[in-house]
Amino acid sequence: MFRIDRHPILPIPPRAEIPFLWEGRTLTAREGETISSALFANGIRIFGHHPKDGAAQGIFCANGQCSQCLVLADGIPVKSCMELVRPGLRVDPVEGLPVLPDVNAAEDLSALFLDIEDIRVPVLIIGGGPAGLSAAIELGKRGVEALIIDDKHRLGGKLVLQTHRFFGSIEAVYAGTRGIDIATRLEQDVRSFPGLRVWLQSAALAVFSDRKVGVLVEGRKYVFVSPEVLLVTAGAREKNLAFPGNTLPGVYGAGAFQTLVNRDLVKPTGRLFIVGGGNVGLIAGYHALQAGIAVTGLVEVMPECGGYKVHRDKLARLGVPIFTSHTVLSANGTDRVESVTVTRVDERFKPIPGTEKSFACDTLLIAVGLDPVSEFYEKAREFGMTAFAAGDAEEIAEASAAIFSGKIRGLEVARSLGYDVGGISEEWYRTAEILKSRPGKTLAEEIPAAETGVFPVLHCNQEIPCDPCTAVCPNNLIEIDKTDIRLLPVFLSNRDGKGCTGCEKCVAICPGLAITMVDYRKDPEFPTVAIPLEFLKETLQAGDSVVVEDTEGQALGRVEVAAVKAVKANDRTVIVKVRAPKEYAKKIAGIRLQPEKESDPLERYVERTEDDTIICRCERVKAGEIRELIRRGSRDINEIKALTRASMGSCGAKTCTPLIHRLFREEGVPESEIVDQPKRPLFLEVPLGVFAGLADGEEKGGGDE
């Protein structure tokens, strides 16, 4: 079984076992598990084969956005990443085109039709992630009624995938608390307000010109919701990348990986490689290591990773090689990933021949950025509705920024309904901007000169919004400019006659694991260094010999572990103490855990041709077909669509449209010349009977919990 049964951060709750059938064979799922996760947990990665060319199909987004994961559930095609396993469910692969189910022709069909319910609500919030929940709480506090809908089976959005402590401001957005725990707090708050209703597994399908929102409730009941105000907090979808082998099962989004590992506790791979050095890719690599999965390497096309340097450094120190100015050339294998080939690129991002390398892996994570899920907001504005957007649906940024923009938008929504919310402080808008900001300057690391007593060394040297270390020192020795928490914190050796006591609170709370504590009191020649680690306590033991590294992952030497401390107050952050020569003790920032051999390249690199590059995953249209049309003068995506079927598939053009635009760019066609296809009104596939309110023989409620 491919399940995680121990994790340094995530609780492993007991879950009832649920038998279900896969191709007639009985397998076991866990309660509350999606079909795709249950299949992965049983070692099944291929969910069917494409009707066009027989290519193996698996998951890509695990977020209901791409339709790659289609299976037949009791004979009905469903997205397996969105559908929960039910006891006795019969699941089959989709081999070729699904056949329409054999619906019994009832004598009087009209007797089976129900009226579609039309519900009026003051506020409809689409998306129960950090922004939606934060907005709802502000509304709840003011007695404003709101309905929150979310297509997942639990609230929290991407927060439920985050095991690390959050950056940002302690005061404003729970910085220093782990994402999974922030999700729990926000949900508890939402549930405490009687005016806030939640519909889970309920997806918005479209915003219509009569200002109604079509909602599919629990996959089987269609209702119209007419809100006075619509707030869209639907988050983001992952960008796709075009390269040969990009649709092999085993190539999927970093968010899908985090869903499998951190939400569903499934171990989908033994060895992975990552494309993209933004925060999503860096954090996914960290999550993999926490789950006991080897990370062979990470490529980033830019000369520097775009994510927070502390995330990058954490990964490098654990032993993951990070190749900047590199890109992926191909994922290799016939019906699953067996290796990845990467190359160095020049300053115009063109591959440099002779620099190719291949690495063995069974999974390739794509983490090349996010696009806002903003369609509902745009349509609502077009149809003259009072509508707001917050979080990633408004602008891609960190989840901490989404929490804060949600708070503000909650107040704005209340104000638009006539509630007196007072003035929304300018300071709040400024905080929102600070939390959204991209990483700033990287400065030279300041290593204190002292070699006596005990004191922390702050290894964070890039300007990012983050302040938890400044709130925990009992003697207030770590200071930050509260008007701009992007500026680096400073350690004061003494305040009011009090110095550092070595309590290690700052070491434990730093979200970037970028603070160590150096203690010269017992042995000035061989001081003790306390290093934070978010791995199981048993990973290291006193007496182990370990390689210690500087901030960026350069080895400094081999030292012995003196002690490993796991105390409740440190909230699952383990403190490892090593004794190291004073020559480099202050430079130590981390411990290498992953052996170097995990990153050895193959002896020869594996090549694939450009022809293999799929642009439209649903209809399996290759780059060459579209490029040829562009070269022949096509500028209208509708024409490309009609001639190739690109963007006509079940994902509703969500994954291929940006890639088609990229092909235009590669061919030198300016955006202004491209004619886009119209956005389809329905967000996902729905059985037609649902729109007619076709009764399914059971009295099923509207989804209120």
Binding site for ligand FES (CB under 6 A): 59-62, 64-69, 79, 81
Q: Which is nearer to ligand FES, 81 or 123 (CB)?
A: 81
Closest CA to 147 of 118, 127, 121: 121
Question: What kind and span of H or E run contains 623?
Answer: helix 623-631
Structure tokens at 104: 């019994």
Minimum CB distance to ligand FES, residue 66 (Å): 3
Q: Which is nearer to ligand FES, 129 or 255 (CB)?
A: 255
Minimum CB distance to ligand FES, residue 469 (Å): 38
| 3-state secondary structure at position 524 | coil
Minimum CB distance to ligand FES, residue 92 (Å): 16
Provide φ and ψ at 265, rounded to 5°.
55, 40
Minimum CB distance to ligand FES, residue 390 (Å): 24
Minimum CB distance to ligand FES, residue 152 (Å): 12
Q: What angle do CA 685, 691, 696 make, to 5 degrees?
A: 100
Q: Which is nearer to ligand FES, 676 or 685 (CB)?
A: 685
Q: Which is nearer to ligand FES, 363 or 462 (CB)?
A: 363
Whether 698 contacts 195, CB under 8 Å: no
Closest CA to 482 of 426, 434, 424, 425: 434
Structure tokens at 383: 């149809």
| Cα distance between residue 35 and residue 142, in whole Å | 40
Q: Which is nearer to ligand FES, 43 or 143 (CB)?
A: 43
478-479 and 370-372 beta bridge pairing: unpaired
| Cα distance between residue 43 and residue 684, in whole Å | 27
Minimum CB distance to ligand FES, residue 80 (Å): 6
Rg, C-alpha atoms of the chain: 26
Q: Which is nearer to ligand FES, 66 or 301 (CB)?
A: 66
Minimum CB distance to ligand FES, residue 37 (Å): 11
* Position 294, amino acid: A
| Cα distance between residue 82 and residue 64, in whole Å | 6
Closest CA to 274 of 262, 257, 291: 257
Q: Which is nearer to ligand FES, 366 or 506 (CB)?
A: 366
| Cα distance between residue 12 and residue 33, in whole Å | 14
CA distances, 147 to each of 120, 194, 200, 228 (Å): 10, 11, 11, 11
Minimum CB distance to ligand FES, residue 617 (Å): 9
Minimum CB distance to ligand FES, residue 79 (Å): 4
Task: Please name every residue paired with 92 in a beta bridge, in sequence order, or none if there are none.
Answer: 72
Q: Which is nearer to ligand FES, 173 or 260 (CB)?
A: 260
Q: Which is nearer to ligand FES, 67 or 431 (CB)?
A: 67
CA distances, 488 to each of 322, 449, 499 (Å): 25, 18, 20
Structure tokens at 372: 């806002």
Minimum CB distance to ligand FES, residue 361 (Å): 20
Q: Which is nearer to ligand FES, 305 or 651 (CB)?
A: 651
Closest CA to 399 of 136, 157, 63: 157
